[in-house]
Amino acid sequence: MGIHTAISHKYSILTPVQKRLGAAIGATLLCAIGIGYLGGFGTAIAANPNATDAAGPAMVRQGDKLTIPANSPLRARVVVSPVSMSTSAHSLSLPGIVEADPARTVNILPPLTGRLIELMVKLGDEVKQGQLLAIVSSPDLDQAYSDVDKARDALDLAHKALDRARGVHDAGANAVKDFEQANSNYEQALAESKRAEARLLTLDGNSRTSKSRALSINAPVSGAVTALNYGTGSFINDATTTLMTISNLDNVWVTANVPEDLLGSVSKGQAAEVDLSAYPGQKLRGTVSFVSAVLEPDTHRNKTRITFANADGKLKPNMYANVSIAIPQANQIVVPTSALLMNNDSTTVFVEVTPWTFVRRAVELGHEDDDSVRILSGLAAGDRVVVRGGVLLND
């Protein structure tokens, strides 16, 4: 099997991280072989690391140890450096979206069915609390007004009957039970009148000051009209259907969708950085406001939210965002990615055990940052590793 075929066979079964390493190593190795074919040292190293020339062997292998002699030209091409330690936070990148705060969002539902005879706002309008939004003509509201009128009339009649019964009772001309019955009738009429008025007030808060019997719908909060589901002249046949939605967008959420396996790394108060597709090059910085207590049943992801002030209205609901959350890390060993080599299916480094004597050691990789990678196992603080030219020792 040729060198190129062997490299291709190994490369096809590697992990994504190892594939990136393999591509770099393969290119370097082929380059070294090419130099050798042109005449000289490269061929000797690639084909037989222990080959000798007038100056002596380039490398000496003793068991699992490789030694580069003092007169070897490899000493000019192999760079050794101690591993470094890092506690810098790992940046977790997640997809996100801008959302309105549900506590500041109100769905306006008409309390009665009827016909929308006048609409005072348009989609996107800013409204103030108490502002008139729409007027609805409703037979049910007419019935409520009628119930109030009848209840008031019955109360007036019961009150007059009670007064007469009290006068006759005081004169001793009727039985006690007649007075008690008149008093009971009055109390019942009073209760019915209060009930009818309370229902009317619930349906139409302007009933005490308005002479119109049309239903007035007013804004319960200040904010922007973010949804509008009916137009003027429409018939509202379902009182459970939202007429419009008002959202206060002075503060909004950027919601990141955190995978279940990464949820343990995210907590309230962590620093977060947000990039928005709408504003390339601009970064918003905040902290995680809260982590949802549940996972979404359809995606099994957790909604982690960062709150931002939005007085200028730049952040609009449903904007796409990319959220980077800083995950604190324990003190870990870090090596350049150039130190990593492949040996079959494992990732390895060459560790210097004595000056210019190396052994291969398998390592477990952690998070990769640009041109360096964290090592979870396989190395210890103070180890010195080959950070350049290790491919020339790799066989």
Given pLDDT bands bounded at 50, 70 and 90, which one contains residue 13? very low
All residues at 6 or more sequence positions from 151 whose CB lies less than 8 Å from its CB, including other chains = 189, 192, 193, 195, 196, 197
CB 93 within 8 A of CB 369: no
Separation of alpha carbons 333 and 349, rounded Å: 13
- What tens digit of pLDDT does each residue of 185-227 get? 999 999 999 998 888 887 776 655 555 678 888 999 999 999 9
Given pLDDT bands bounded at 50, 70 and 90, which one contains residue 172? confident
Separation of alpha carbons 312 and 290, rounded Å: 24
CB 213 within 8 A of CB 145: yes
Given pLDDT bands bounded at 50, 70 and 90, which one contains residue 58? confident
Report the pLDDT value the prediction gives residue 362, as an integer from 0 to 100: 94
Report the pLDDT value the prediction gives residue 310, as an integer from 0 to 100: 92
Sheet holding 244-247, edge to edge: 105-108, 244-247, 223-228, 126-127
Report the pLDDT value the prediction gives residue 5, as an integer from 0 to 100: 36
CB 126 within 8 A of CB 224: yes
Given pLDDT bands bounded at 50, 70 and 90, which one contains residue 1? very low
Separation of alpha carbons 301 and 294, rounded Å: 9
Residue type, 101: D
pLDDT of residue 160 exceeding 60, the answer is yes
* Burial class, 387, CB count within 10 angstroms (exposed 0-12 / middle 13-18 / buried 19+): buried
Separation of alpha carbons 344 and 5, rounded Å: 14
For residue 49, report the phi and psi dihedrals to the nearest 5 degrees: -60, -25
Average pLDDT over the chain reads: 82
**Average pLDDT rounded to a whole number, residues 117-136:** 92
Tell how strand 114-119 and strand 132-137 pair up.
Answer: antiparallel
Question: Where do we find the tokens 């080599």?
Answer: 341
Q: Residue-wise over 42-68: b if at least 16 C-beta within 10 A, else e?
A: bbbbbeebeeeeeeebbbbeeeeebbb
Alpha carbon 146 to its chain centroid, in Å, reads: 52
Report the pLDDT value the prediction gives residue 47, as an integer from 0 to 100: 38
Residue type, 334: V
**Average pLDDT rounded to a whole number, residues 57-79:** 91
CB 218 within 8 A of CB 127: no
pLDDT of residue 243 exceeding 80, the answer is yes
Share of the chain above pLDDT 70, in %: 84
Report the pLDDT value the prediction gives residue 395, as an integer from 0 to 100: 65
Which residue in 263, 258, 275, 266 sits closest to 327, CA to CA?
266
All residues at 6 or more sequence positions from 383 whose CB lies less than 8 Å from its CB, including other chains = 82, 83, 333, 351, 352
Given pLDDT bands bounded at 50, 70 and 90, which one contains residue 16? very low
Separation of alpha carbons 381 and 393, rounded Å: 23
- What tens digit of pLDDT does each residue of 304-362 get? 999 999 988 899 999 999 999 887 777 889 999 999 998 888 999 999 999 999 999 99
**Average pLDDT rounded to a whole number, residues 91-103:** 90
- Write down all domains in the chain, each with its CATH number in brackets: 3-87+332-392 (2.40.420.20), 93-104+247-327 (2.40.30.170), 139-213 (1.10.287.470)
Report the pLDDT value the prediction gives residue 301, as an integer from 0 to 100: 93
